[in-house]
Structure formats: structure tokens, C-alpha cells
Structure 1
Amino acid sequence: MKPVLLLLFCGKTVVLVLQGVRWLLQGHDVQVVSTIYSTRAASRMVAGQLGMALSADPTPPPTPGSIVLHQYDFVNREADVQQAVTDLLARVKDGQLHVLLDEALFGSNVYGPRNTTLVARLAESVPGLHLWAAGVLHTDIPPSLQPEPLTVPLRCAPSVLREVQPAVGRLTARIHNYSDSGVPAPGDGLRVIRLSHHGNAHRGRWPVECQQCGKEVAAELLRLGVGSGGSSLPNSPTPLSYRDVVIITRSSELQDDIEDDAGRVTSRASGVVRGLRDEGLPVCVLGEQDYRHNRARWERDVDDVAVAATDRVTVTHLDCVHGLERRVVVMLPGRHKETDEGRSDEAIDVDDRLYAVSRCSTQLIMVDVPRRKCVVS
């Protein structure tokens, strides 16, 4: 039986990286596997951090292992499952294979069974399989894996955890509750900043559609010192850069300017993106529409965001940043026209808190929407 880390949203990717570094220093090659587009950024981040850890080691081993990143699309290409098996079996050395699989989500309707098939095939074929997976509900563990629950939050401040805890509390049948680390937090963390998508200047049903929301979020970020070379965060001598900020929504309406082959804009960027740019913030957009209309640019931007290479604020659909953390997280409520149809507000709120709010390590900004009946069309 091989270990798997359970999904607790606050430090699981850190543990994967630490295990990967251990393997590399022992001389083993590490296979970092992404099976769908929503895990691209997290997997590329893991591979990047492994590389940085090796290069920063003052006493590296004479023959460290190498890092190999594998990318597949289990949602749209079922044949990729066999391709992944073939590729990974070709990497077996001396009867051993070392694999990191982040955001596995074995219970997902489409790619969950395919992830399960991948793991089962590897377990059957490689006696010396060492596979660590994160992003797993304890009700969905494949029989070929041994659970090792991670219940101590490693990254979030207590003030952020209080925003996440209600979601965990509503899912205790599927997610273990947090446990006490035994080490007191150095402080409560920063007060959660709350803005409101409300008033005469605001437009649209949701903040992502609203240029005024973009302006108000930008004003708050500038007040925090983002991009100024300084920081107004208490006890934080490290300056806040634009790359430290991610703005997350589940809205399917998020997009950047869409251009035709001649470079003409055929569909303007979402209101919140225009508002941010109006205030001078450099912005990178990772939306579903961008993935469909300009996949090459989207892939380049994911590479960039995964390692925070360019100093830009990232505005993204939450599926694109599973596993990524930032010092400042802005949460924009919204709805996805397809996947949220028929879902309750409570269920959507659980997803927002687990997959978006828990990305925050320092300062959380929540944009509230006045309560009214939700109609997903």
C-alpha cells in the first residue's frame, strides 16, 4: 500500500514539494504529473520549486535525481490515460518509480475514475512505486493507496482559517476537520477586508461584470502598498508586489480582450479587469474563454503564473489555480453557467471557501454581493 495525502487545503502542496526534494536528494527521478488543465499551474509550480530547492542546496549530492513534468488531458482525451501509463512505466529505474500527483480529486465524475485507473495500473506494474497524491477526499481513496491524513493547516493565518472553517464543518463526512498543531500562532492575522458589489456605480449581477468593483479592489490593493516597493501590512518588512496578488472567481464570464486574427478586439475584457487596468494595475487573466479562444497564450500565462515570473496581478477562474497560494487573495463571488446550474448557494459557497479562500496566506479581501435569489442561466 502506498501513501496518499488527504485534501485539507492549507499546506498539502508544500508537503508534496518537501517529499519530492527528499527523493531528489536520494538520487531518484521525480515524475510530476498533471492530468487536467486545472492542475497545470500547481504541477508546474511543484516542478519549479523542486528545481529551486535543488539549486539552493549548499551541499547537493553528487548525483541528484532529475525532475520530469508530464501533462495530460484526461477530461477530453481518454487515450491520455494509457499514454500516461506508458510514459511513466518508461521512467522506472531499478524497479522504482517516484510520482507526485497534486489535485487528484479521485471522486470527480469525469477524470476521477481515470486518475484512479492510472494509479491502479502503476501499482500493479511497479512493485517499487512511491506515489504521493494530494487533493483527495477521504471518501474517494482508490484501494491501491494508503491514506495519510493531513489535518494541520500549515499556511493560513487564523483570521483566514475562520473563513474556511465553515466549509470544512459542512463537509466533515468527506473531509477531516482541522486539528491543533500544538504550536500557538504568532498572531491572529490580518483583519479580513470586505468590499461590496452594491451602489449606483456598480453594474452587473456579479462583481466580475463590474468595472467599479475593479476600481475599488485596485484602490484597496494600492492602499496595502501593492506594487509601490513597500507594504502597509503590519510586521511585514517584505514589499508587496503585484505577483503576490490573485483575484479569484468561479464565474464563467471572466475573460480578457478577445481578438480576431487581424488583432481587432471582438469581445472586451470583463468589467472587473477593465476597472483594475483603469487604475494602472498590470493584469494577467486566466479565464475559460481565454483558454478556448487563445490556448497558446493561456498556456504561456499559466507557466508564468505558476512560478510568479512576471510582476502582474492574476485574475483567474478558480479552476486554473488549484494548489497555488498568494499573500493577498481577493474573492469575487459568481456563478458558472454550466457547472453551477441547479446547485444551492450553500454548496457553491463551500467550493468558494475551500478552493479559493484557502489560497490566502496573509491578507484576504472578500467582495460581498447583496443577498437575492440566484438564477443561473
Structure 2
Amino acid sequence: MAAHPDHKDITLWRERIHEWYPDLFKQTYFLPSVHMNRTQYEVVQLKSGENVLQTSTPGKPSRLSSSDTRDDECQQKVLKCLHRLKEEHPQVMFVLSQFEFVNYLNYSCFAEAALQLPRPIDLKAQNDHRGEFDVLIIHRHYGIIVVEIKAIGDQMSDLLQEEQRQKIETRVLKSIKQIQKEERVLKYLLTGLLKQPRVLKTLMLPNATKAQLLDMLNNKPATRRDLCKCLGIPQDGDPVPLCLTLEDIADPEHPDDVTGPNRWWQKRVIDSGPDPSMTDALYLDVVSRFGGPATTVKVFCSSEPHLAVVHQSDIRTPGDGVEEMGNRFTPVNIVLHPEQVDTLNNDKLTEVYVTGPPGTGKSLILQLKAIEWIREGQPVHVVSTWKESLAASYFLVKQMENPENTHLIQLHHLELDDRNDADNILETLGKAADDHDGKLFVIMDEAFAYSQDVLNDFFIKLRHRVPKLNLWAASMFFRERPKDMDEIRLTVPLRTPPLITQEVEKNSKMKKDPIVYQYTEPKSPLPAEGVQPRVLFHTGEGHDEDECVYDCIQCGKNIAGELQQLNVGGADRASTSPRALQYRDVFLLTYYGNLHDTQTDDSGNVTEEASGLIRGLREAGIPVTILVEEDHTMLKEVATMEGPNDVFAAQSTEVQGLERKIVVFAQADGLNSENEDRGRLQAMSRCTAQLIWVKPPLPPPDKISH
């Protein structure tokens, strides 16, 4: 049955594994590289006639059961736990999640080689060909770890003790049966290898505590014996430390604490000792079968027009995951929450100020309202009130226009704090209203003025000049709202993954004397939790710690290494995979202090080198363009993504309202600084998938104030 180890297809599988996972023998990889939640949308039509996707409304019938949502939540918790574990103690392992037996060696183009190897489909007689591994860990040093996850429910504390025991016992017994089945399947799939890796088994109960599990086992001796046998320990042994439970996985007060996962990992894995059979060659062979091109990789997604839960294949590499994550949070299909749909369909709203923290869909609401007006044949005036709203305005115009409607869209750029600019735009807009039966339709994104009450005064004057005014404005700063405008508050994340919003909301502008509203929890699942942010420190070999991060060549090279790991700028991997990330998908942002480019004199002689960060990136082969202040042509190219395929570097305020799949935030100064605080709000919030945070060296522990 076993294929010859030099079979041409199997050799190709190994080559692909080395190509997709270049540090296979140095670090941890997850497959799929991101976990996607099961989500459900319904198609609704706005008043404008535009079809959009709406997140599910609580209480309405749904294709998704509560157990689906609970399983996704548990899967996220477990994967987050493993991510934290490998960050604290780097591991060489390959982690597969929600891996269905049927997807193993099932790509038709590799059928010749696959038919020579054991496959789950061969086990139909025993009915073992159906099922999945919740989590399957292939570890370079400790063999294979089978992880069975069983969600119990979120209301355990409300149950009587005997009810708790019954619920936990039911899940444990189901887990034992599933683990036994998984062990049989694994044993069969691994036949024919020169050596058999060891298989360790464990149970994860994300909703039960160790005390609850122990109480059940003490009162159900037969179940205890069955669990001990399943986990491969003596019948008088203690299985509880070998199981991952609630307190190991999630501590809301200390989310970064890895004590629980470490304790479990030590008991279940490390104390078992290294697996002597697991050599480099065997590790590569096992990974190439389970994660190579002959095996299908699937993630959940919702597809239009039927919007049923389906699968999408080939989210394999870290770059695939970032590309897919960015697409889910900035989709081609527009996704709205029910309250946003209600806002857009409300005819009574004519003068509206949309506010809320970054990533909640403010610009999207303005875009859809403008499209509604355009479809009614109304001219739309997009007004940029200060230099830092121009990028968002360019982006809005790009999203609104098509060859048939460009004559209906006009962009005005001014500095509202400049009295002459303000008077001129009032005159211009007033004449436009006079030419259109007294009606005026205005959009103002990132609306702001430096001087107090300037925006309010402008609104009052414009309303006085144009009684039939329709004006929709947006800003994250709620105190800027003109007094008589209706406030629409958006606080549920829509365009930003939770792992990013968790970083953004740590800024003080949402807490102490807030000027930005805090986020609120979504009522229905978001597409995913997100990609773990990467943190790089300006310290160690090659770094001059006396220099600022901006001036460090090594920091630039380290950023380049992260981008190369994600295959940014590389070739598309396969027709079934997401496209490769482009350099233009990346922002390099600072909060204050400019990165500068090489300066030359009239003779072309270099008078000043580019910032070290820029030089380091370029030396590593990453094309970088620094946004030049007041270069509106370049800014428009950045906003519309029509310029060169380069990483764009800028101060975060210059690209306010724009988003990128990858954001590199270079922090100039130390812990808990204004730079970090503003960077969270105005740089990190631009990210829809992968955040890379470059930090100065941490001060000594005795210098850190808590």
C-alpha cells in the first residue's frame, strides 16, 4: 500500500512544504493559517436600490445553530491558547484545526500517488471514514498530539451540581469515543512510514473548570477509568492535569498570562519526553501528507447569493491567511449591521453626524448615502474640511464614481480654519444649490477643524444659506458634532478584526475624559478573530539603541523579513488560493516625526541619506515610497491604490480614513507614551488583518510605572 518514498508526486509534496513553510524546522505553523467563523448574512435592499449583506438579527431564524457559534468560540479560544504558548516558548510544530478526514490526500491531480497511500476512504467498512480532528498537532520533538474539543455550554454555574456532572460526563464520554476513532484513523494513515510517530491524546473542555471535571470523575469511577485508558495513563492516574480546561484557556483579567497553557503543556507533552522516532525526515513526511498540496484545506465562509455556510479551500500559508482576512473585513460585498441599514433607509434624516471608533463603518455609511443621492440624479459635493481628510475624500469619490455618474460628483478641498476658504466654499455651495432648485447634497468624511466651534459655525451658515440642505458628515471625534445635527453612533466593529480593536481600545482617548466612544460587542459573529499582531523590538544584534526606531537600518530589515514571510510582493501560489499580497497592501506609519528620503543637491550628490528604517527595507528588496506632504497627486494614488506597487510610508494622520491589510506601526518613543497612545487610535486602526508593531527597547523593570 505505501508509496515509494521517491515517488515523483511525494517528492513534489515535500518541495511545496519547504516553499510554503520556509522555517518548517524552526517555528510553528497553523493550517489553515487563520480560523474563520461560521457567519450568516441576508441580502437586503437599501432605499437606493443597492443590495447589501446584513448581519443576522438576534432572534430571527438562522441556519447557524447556537452550537455552531459555541464551537467556533471554543476553537478560537484553543487556537489563541496555542498561539500564546508558542510565543512564550517557541515550538517547532504544525497545527491543523477542524481537519476533516475526507480532505486527506483528496486532490484529484495527485490521485496516482494518493491511491498508493492509506486514506480514510478505505475505512468505510468500519464507518471510520467520516469525522474530523478538532486540533491535530504534529510536533517535531514530541510526535503527534490529538486534541478533542468539547463545548459544554456557557451557563454551567447556573446548574445544580448533579446537572453539571451529567453534562460534563456526557461530553467526556463522547470525547473518548471520538478520540478512539481518531486514533484508529491515524494508526491506519501512518502505516507504511519507516517509523511510527508517537500519538498523545488530550481533551479540551473550554467551558468547564478543573474542579468541575474532577468532581465528575470522583463520582463516576467508570468514566474515570475510561478516560485514563483513552489518555494512555494508569487507571489510578490523574487525568485532570492532562486536560485543558477553562482556567487554562481564558483569564479575562490577565489575557496574556500563559501559566495555565504552560502547566498543561508540561504535564501532557513535555513530561512524556521526546519521541525518538520523530526525525526531521519523518516530520517532513507527515507534514507533507497532512499539509501538502494533495490534501485539501478548507475554511468556513458565507457565499452569495444563497449565503449558506460553505467551505473555501487553500488558505494554507500565513500570507494566504492575511490576504483572506483583509478580504473578509473589506469585502467586495458590502456588509452592514441591521441598525446601519435602518439609518440609511430613514427618510427623515437629512443632517447627520456619524460618529464612533475606527473600523465601525462610518465612511461606508457616507458612501452608500451618496450613492443613493446619485441614483436619484442629485449632484453630490464631497467636502474635505482640512488636509487630513483629503485622503478619505479621494477614497470616497473613487468608491462612488463610475463612467456614467462622474458629472454628478464634485470634490472640494479647503482648510475650514482659513476664513477665506470657508467663505469661498459657502459661496460655491450656495450657488450650486441655487442652480438645483435650492437643494444641496453634501458629504464630509473625517470632518474636523482645529479651532473650536469652527465646524459648528460653518454648518449654521450653510444651513442658513441653503434651507434644503442634505449633509452627512462623519468623524470618530464625537465632540466635533455641530449642535443641531442628528448623531448616529456606530460602536460595533465592522471593518476591523477583534485582535486589532483590542489594541486600539487601549488608548486613553476612549477612557479618560473620552473624545471617542468605546467599542461595543457585536450581536452576531464577526468573520474571524483576526491574525495575532507581531511585535518587533528595537534591540539586540545590529540595532543602535541610542538611535530612534526611525533611524535603525536593522529594524527596517526585520520588517522586511516579516513581509517576506507573508510572501508580500511574491507570485500567486495557486489558482485556488488567495492572490499574493501586494506591496501596496502595506502601510508603514508613524504618529509624529517624519521618515525622510534620500536628499540630493542639483548635481545629484547625496546630501542626506534616507531614514535608516527606509534604507533597511530597501536593502532587503522592499520598494518603499514616502508620502510627500502637499503632493495631492501622490495622496490620491495612495487613496485609490492606483499608484506604484510600493509600501507607502506616512504619518498616520495623513492617511486618516484609509485601510490596509498590513500596517507597520513604528513607535518613536517609550512605554505608555503619547506616541503609543495616538498610534493605537490613528495607526493601528488602519489595519484590517496583520499588525506589525515596532517598539523601542523596554526600560528596566524598576523604571516601569504601573
Q: 1:326 to 1:12 in 2, by over 3 A?
A: same
Cα distance in 2 between the residues matched to 1:184 and 1:32: 34
Cα distance in 1 between the residues matched to 2:640 and 2:437: 32
Cα distance in 2 between the residues matched to 1:246 and 1:2: 34
Q: 2:431 aligns with which of 90, 108, 112?
A: 90
Deviations 1:72-106 (A, max 9, x none): 1345x431111121122222122211111111135
The answer to whether 1:162 aligns with 2:502 is yes
The answer to whether 1:140 aligns with 2:490 is no
Cα distance in 2 between the residues matched to 1:362 and 1:24: 32
The SS at the match of 1:115 is helix
The answer to whether 1:266 aligns with 2:607 is yes
State the partner residue of 2:469.
Answer: 129
Q: 2:586 aligns with which of 242, 245, 248?
A: 245
Cα distance in 2 between the residues matched to 1:262 and 1:193: 42
The SS at the match of 2:486 is strand
Q: How many Å apart are 1:356 and its aligned residue?
A: 0.8
Q: 1:259 to 1:144 in 2, by over 3 A?
A: farther
Cα distance in 2 between the residues matched to 1:130 and 1:171: 34
Q: How many Å apart are 1:262 and its aligned residue?
A: 4.9
Cα distance in 1 between the residues matched to 2:605 and 2:384: 34
Cα distance in 2 between the residues matched to 1:252 and 1:194: 21
Contact 2:667 2:675 in 1 (8 A): no
Contact 2:381 2:411 in 1 (8 A): yes
Cα distance in 2 between the residues matched to 1:195 and 1:368: 6
Cα distance in 2 between the residues matched to 1:240 and 1:165: 27
Q: 1:176 to 1:129 in 2, by over 3 A?
A: same
Cα distance in 2 between the residues matched to 1:270 and 1:221: 19
The answer to whether 1:179 aligns with 2:520 is yes
Q: How many Å apart are 1:120 and its aligned residue?
A: 2.0
Query: TM-score, normalized by length of structure 1?
Result: 0.83
State the partner residue of 1:353.
Answer: 680
State the partner residue of 1:304.
Answer: 637
Cα distance in 2 between the residues matched to 1:263 and 1:84: 42
State the partner residue of 1:81.
Answer: 422
Q: How many Å apart are 1:185 and its aligned residue?
A: 1.9
State the partner residue of 2:394.
Answer: 44
Cα distance in 2 between the residues matched to 1:130 and 1:144: 13
Cα distance in 2 between the residues matched to 1:191 and 1:185: 16
The answer to whether 1:19 aligns with 2:369 is yes
Cα distance in 2 between the residues matched to 1:38 and 1:64: 24
The SS at the match of 1:134 is strand
Cα distance in 1 between the residues matched to 2:445 and 2:594: 27
Q: 1:73 to 1:267 in 2, by over 3 A?
A: farther
Contact 2:668 2:675 in 1 (8 A): no
Cα distance in 2 between the residues matched to 1:27 and 1:144: 27
The SS at the match of 2:479 is coil
Cα distance in 2 between the residues matched to 1:369 and 1:344: 8
State the partner residue of 1:214.
Answer: 556
Q: 1:231 to 1:119 in 2, by over 3 A?
A: farther
- For structure 2, list consecutive stretches of 5 or more residues without a partner in the other structure: 1-349
- For structure 1, list consecutive stretches of 5 or more residues without a partner in the other structure: 336-342
The SS at the match of 2:491 is coil
Cα distance in 2 between the residues matched to 1:115 and 1:255: 33
1:320-331 matches, cutoff 5 A: 320-331=654-665
Q: 1:362 aligns with which of 678, 683, 689?
A: 689
Q: 1:170 to 1:349 in 2, by over 3 A?
A: farther
State the partner residue of 1:228.
Answer: 570
The SS at the match of 1:166 is coil
Q: 1:138 to 1:39 in 2, by over 3 A?
A: closer
Of 211-220 and 183-192, deviating more is 183-192
Q: How many Å apart are 1:315 and its aligned residue?
A: 0.7
Contact 1:103 1:136 in 2 (8 A): yes
State the partner residue of 2:355.
Answer: 6
Q: How many Å apart are 1:332 and its aligned residue?
A: 0.7
Q: Kindly, what percent of the aligned residue pairs are identical?
A: 32
Letter in structure 2 aligned against 1:102: D
The SS at the match of 2:692 is strand
Q: 1:268 to 1:126 in 2, by over 3 A?
A: same
Q: How many Å apart are 1:138 and its aligned residue?
A: 2.4
The SS at the match of 2:432 is coil
Q: How many Å apart are 1:313 and its aligned residue?
A: 0.5
Deviations 1:16-70 (A, max 9, x none): 212211211121111111122222211111111111xx45xxxx8xx88711011
Cα distance in 1 between the residues matched to 2:476 and 2:496: 19
Contact 1:194 1:368 in 2 (8 A): yes
1:26-41 matches, cutoff 5 A: 26-41=376-391
Q: How many Å apart are 1:175 and its aligned residue?
A: 2.4
Letter in structure 2 aligned against 1:87: T
Deviations 1:311-352 (A, max 9, x none): 1111111121100000111111126xxxxxxx9945443321
Q: 1:284 aligns with which of 625, 631, 638?
A: 625
Of 66-75 and 154-163, deviating more is 66-75
Q: 1:78 to 1:64 in 2, by over 3 A?
A: closer
Cα distance in 1 between the residues matched to 2:600 and 2:610: 10
Of 274-283 and 263-272, deviating more is 263-272
Q: How many Å apart are 1:361 and its aligned residue?
A: 0.6
Larger Rg: 2
Q: How many Å apart are 1:209 and its aligned residue?
A: 1.5
Query: Which one has a larger percent helix, Structure 1 or Structure 2?
Result: 2
Letter in structure 2 aligned against 1:5: V
Letter in structure 1 aligned against 2:358: F
Deviations 1:104-140 (A, max 9, x none): 135x3x3x54333322211121112111111142233
Cα distance in 2 between the residues matched to 1:247 and 1:64: 32
Q: 1:346 to 1:282 in 2, by over 3 A?
A: closer
Contact 2:393 2:445 in 1 (8 A): yes
Q: 1:33 to 1:161 in 2, by over 3 A?
A: same
Cα distance in 1 between the residues matched to 2:666 and 2:570: 24
Q: 1:72 to 1:262 in 2, by over 3 A?
A: farther
Letter in structure 1 aligned against 2:415: D
Contact 1:211 1:273 in 2 (8 A): yes
Cα distance in 1 between the residues matched to 2:604 and 2:454: 39
Contact 1:242 1:311 in 2 (8 A): yes
The SS at the match of 1:91 is helix
The number of aligned residues is 345
Q: 1:131 to 1:262 in 2, by over 3 A?
A: farther
Higher relative contact order (CA 8 A, sep 6+): 1
Query: TM-score, normalized by length of structure 2?
Result: 0.46
Q: How many Å apart are 1:372 and its aligned residue?
A: 4.2
Contact 1:256 1:273 in 2 (8 A): yes
Q: How many Å apart are 1:14 and its aligned residue?
A: 1.9
Cα distance in 2 between the residues matched to 1:85 and 1:221: 46
Cα distance in 2 between the residues matched to 1:27 and 1:129: 16
Q: 1:105 to 1:332 in 2, by over 3 A?
A: same
